[in-house]
Amino acid sequence: MRLLTAGFVLSAAWAQDWPQFRGNPRLTGVALSPVPKNLKVVWTWEAGDSIESSAAIVGGSVFIGSQASELTSLDLATGKVRWKYKTDGAIGESSPAVAGGLVFVGDLNGVVHAVNAADGKGVWKYKTGSEVKSSPVVSGGRVLIGSYDEQLHAIDAKTGKEAWTFRTQGPVHCTPGVMNGVTYVSGCDENFRAIRVQDGQQAYLVDSGAYIGASPALADNFAYFGTYDNRVLAVDMVSKKIAWSYEHPQRKFPYYSSAALYGGKVLLGGRDKLLHCLDSKTGKELWSFMTKARIESSPAVADSRVFFGSNDGRFYVLDVNTGKSLWEFEAGAPLSASPAIGGGRIVIGSQDGKLYCFGGTD
């Protein structure tokens, strides 16, 4: 069975899971798992240190990294710890990816880890030249991940051996998106690059004109991302040119949050405290929603609702079509991590080390 959503096709195997950062290799932030209309906190878990990593949810298990230098697996239903794996360094923003029975994650010591998803035993380690904040994406039997050593690394998923590396002109902070055998990197070197997964050769480059911290969201031959010079860009991957650029008329702040793509809309948070909803074809703002602090969290979408955290310590649920507030939860500490949605539940971590799981009230 194949399912169509937000202009692209996903297999039914993804329907209840959120196996990587942004939910899928195109980094669209869209969940196929239904979410209950009325939400409550089902369970919380204390990591012991800040959580900036976003969770993966696969087969009823939650996988989360923390600055306590641990990758942890918990039961999605109860929050009970299944296992813990000690990493070489703290896990920052690198979010676990699950594929082929393994969990992959990077740490701030520059080590990429492959861990058995069932029991938490280490399978291999791969050392990069600097810290890893990028999240892994698995495609074509390879783990693709960026490092602050200014390289995109392609690692054999089974053996942990280097397949190839591609050197950029700045740290590779973003999570690489993948579509049709090509991986896309929005770089700290101000370039948007297309690189072939098979051989690591660059297909093309588009100059964005600004530092980029966000990851690219891909759909319908367009890539969308915000930049540090206060703009949101759409890159036409056919013409290899910038299709449109959006800048708020008054509030000039960088974008760090990665975009979600849903129903012809581009949704992303800004350091201007706003969640922005733009028309994907024109870049025109459809609506915006004000929080009380910068939004680093990348929004996720399910059932015509958008879910995200803010550094004001609140978790928000909005109507994706109107921007109307539907529900808020006060966590009390900044929520810079991004929500993961799977198995009818939403999981997000906070900077005070708490992991929250939201589910239905009935």
| 280 neighbors 266 (Cβ within 8 angstroms) | yes
| 225 neighbors 241 (Cβ within 8 angstroms) | no
| 332 neighbors 47 (Cβ within 8 angstroms) | no
Could you give the CA distance from residue 348 to residue 356 in angstroms, rounded to a whole number? Answer: 5
**Contact partners, residue 180, CB within 8 Å, separation at least 6:** none
Q: What is the pLDDT of residues 264-291, one digit of tens each?
A: 999 999 999 999 999 999 999 999 999 9
* Residue type at position 66: S
**Contact partners, residue 2, CB within 8 Å, separation at least 6:** 9, 10, 11, 12
| 162 neighbors 124 (Cβ within 8 angstroms) | no
Q: What's the pLDDT at 14?
A: 45
CA distance to 101, 238, 247, per residue, from 264 (Å)? 34, 18, 19
| 66 neighbors 336 (Cβ within 8 angstroms) | no
Tokens of 326: 């539907």
Q: How many CB atoms lie within 10 A of CB 182?
A: 19
| 114 neighbors 101 (Cβ within 8 angstroms) | no
Q: What's the pLDDT at 11?
A: 40
Could you give the CA distance from residue 21 to residue 134 in angstroms, rounded to a whole number? Answer: 10
Could you give the CA distance from residue 104 to residue 154 in angstroms, rounded to a whole number? Answer: 13
Q: How many CB atoms lie within 10 A of CB 167?
A: 9
| 111 neighbors 125 (Cβ within 8 angstroms) | yes
Q: How many CB atoms lie within 10 A of CB 80?
A: 11
Tokens of 128: 């990069």
| 267 neighbors 260 (Cβ within 8 angstroms) | yes
Question: Considering just the CA atoms, what is the radius of gyration of the chain in Å?
Answer: 18
Burial (CB < 10 A; 0-12, 13-18, 19+), residue 196, is middle
Residues of the chain with pLDDT under 50: 1-14
Could you give the CA distance from residue 172 to residue 312 in angstroms, rounded to a whole number? Answer: 28
Domain boundaries, the chain: 17-360
Q: Residues, the chain, total? A: 362
Chain center to CA of 238: 24
Whether domain 17-360 has CATH 3.40.50.2000: the reply is no
